């Protein structure tokens, strides 16, 4: 009997019984890793046991890590930097490279991907194209899974066609030119229709992981200022009907400190044994 108790004690205290977790934060269109910082999400996550692991960016040379103050904490939140004006496929490739980096250096740590706005489409595309592997959960916040008419409006507003096209080009400001340079991603975010990226993506088999939609209802309950409610709900994606959980927030499109509370709750995580730290990855790693 004493041996049995001793064996149970060793199993409970074994490092194999206590994993660390990773929360990967994906920004949206015209966003950056700073989006999570400026909104207060990172600060709230840290208060709830998810300190900043750092910023991850991919390039042709590989992956670069800018370490954060919590890079050696048991549970860590990493922000990714994507080329948010690039077409969705390009963004998803960058995210795939970053996910491969995390799998290589943290092979035993489950990953929750949390993505805002268009970042949710990029994340879903990466998982469909390359598989989920260690990713156990995808949380999307105000993401246009079925597209948004705002993308069509942005394309029309920055079109050089028509009698006033030359005046648009001459008087347009920095935001106007940024929108004009991002026609590829805007085309990808137009409402799903035969031949469009979203039409194809929504008909593909999705990895068997947990899916959670954080839906912004806006002030009247039908839409935030950019994406209608029905487009934000993953249950309206053909291949995910009835499989996703939904959380509704009566707020606008942007990130909020309350998102940090919700993400900490959803990501969960298990504290590592006292004194145990995750391996420290290199600050840059070659692409595979």
Domain residues of the chain, as ranges?
19-148+194-273
Residue 181's pLDDT is: 87
For the segment 15-38, what is each residue's pLDDT rounded down to a tens digit? 433 458 999 999 999 999 999 999
Furthest-apart CA atoms within the chain: distance in Å? 89
Residue 102's pLDDT is: 96
In sequence order, what are the residues at sequence separation of 6 or more whose Cβ sits closer than 8 angstroms to the Cβ of residue 37?
A: 43, 79
Rounded CA gap, 117 and 186, in Å?
13
Class of the CATH domain delimited by 19-148+194-273: alpha beta
Residue 88's pLDDT is: 98
Q: What is the pTM of this model?
A: 0.87
For the segment 125-157, what is each residue's pLDDT rounded down to a tens digit? 999 999 998 999 999 999 999 999 999 999 988
Task: Show pLDDT as tens, one digit a residue, over the chain (288 residues).
Answer: 444 444 343 334 434 334 589 999 999 999 999 999 999 999 999 999 999 999 999 988 899 999 999 988 999 999 999 999 999 999 999 999 999 999 999 999 999 999 999 999 999 999 999 999 899 999 999 999 999 999 999 998 887 654 444 445 544 566 777 888 899 999 999 999 999 999 999 999 999 999 999 999 987 777 789 999 999 999 999 999 999 999 999 999 999 999 999 999 999 865 555 555 666 777 777 756
Residue 41's pLDDT is: 98
3-state DSSP call for residue 214?
A: strand
- Which residues on neighbouring strands pair with residue 23, listed in sequence order? 77, 112
């Amino acid at each position: 009997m004493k041996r049995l108790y001793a064996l149970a004690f060793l199993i409970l205290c074994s490092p194999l019984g206590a994993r660390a977790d990773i929360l990967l934060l994906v920004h949206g269109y015209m966003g950056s890793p700073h989006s999570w910082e400026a909104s207060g999400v990172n600060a709230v996550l840290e208060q709830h046991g998810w300190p900043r692991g750092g910023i991850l960016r991919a390039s042709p040379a590989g992956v670069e890590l800018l370490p954060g103050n919590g890079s050696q904490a048991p549970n860590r939140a990493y922000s990714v930097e994507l080329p948010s004006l690039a077409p969705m496929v390009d963004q998803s490739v960058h995210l795939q490279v970053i996910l491969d980096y995390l799998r290589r250096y943290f092979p035993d740590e489950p990953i929750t991907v949390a993505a805002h706005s268009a970042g949710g489409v990029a994340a879903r595309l990466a998982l469909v194209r390359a598989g989920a592997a260690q990713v156990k959960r995808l949380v999307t916040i105000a993401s246009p899974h079925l597209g948004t008419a705002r993308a069509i409006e942005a394309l029309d507003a920055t079109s050089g066609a028509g009698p006033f096209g030359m005046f648009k080009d001459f008087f347009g400001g920095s935001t106007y030119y940024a929108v004009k340079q991002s026609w590829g991603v805007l085309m990808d975010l137009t409402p799903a229709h035969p031949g469009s990226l979203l039409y194809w993506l929504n008909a593909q088999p999705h990895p068997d992981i947990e899916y959670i939609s954080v839906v912004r209802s806006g002030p009247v309950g039908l839409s935030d200022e950019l994406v209608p409610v029905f487009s934000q709900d993953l249950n309206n994606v053909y291949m995910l009907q009835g499989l996703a959980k939904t959380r509704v927030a009566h707020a606008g499109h942007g990130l909020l400190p309350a998102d940090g509370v919700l993400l900490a709750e959803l990501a969960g995580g298990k504290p590592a044994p006292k004194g145990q730290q995750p391996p420290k990855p290199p600050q840059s790693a070659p692409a595979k």
